[in-house]
Structure 1
């Protein structure tokens, strides 16, 4: 569980950095958030 939280935190940080790097591309942040949500959902689905 701890590893999953670290991975999710890393993906969130990556999304924030990506969004900050491409501020004019709002879609970048939206896609990054969707990737994090999808990954978290898949992980918890597999973990249960």
Structure 2
């Protein structure tokens, strides 16, 4: 759950401060990819 919140917070910051953002499907794919990396690394608490 924290990973999702963190990813959304980063996206919010990119849109507000850098004036660019990603589409919803790209954000979801990013979350899935980062979650998979954490699972493989054994860091899925």
> Structure 2 length normalisation: TM-score?
0.50
Match in the other structure for 1:6: 2
Pairs aligned (count): 34
Does structure 2 retain, via aligned residues, the 8 Å contact 1:8–1:36? Answer: yes
RMSD: 2.7
C-alpha separation between the residues in 2 aligned to 1:14 and 1:41? 20
> Structure 1 length normalisation: TM-score?
0.48
Does structure 1 retain, via aligned residues, the 8 Å contact 2:4–2:31? Answer: yes
For residue 16 of structure 1, report the CA deviation from its aligned partner.
7.8
Structure 1 residue runs without a partner (length 5+): 18-26
Choose between structure 1 and 2: higher helix proportion: 1
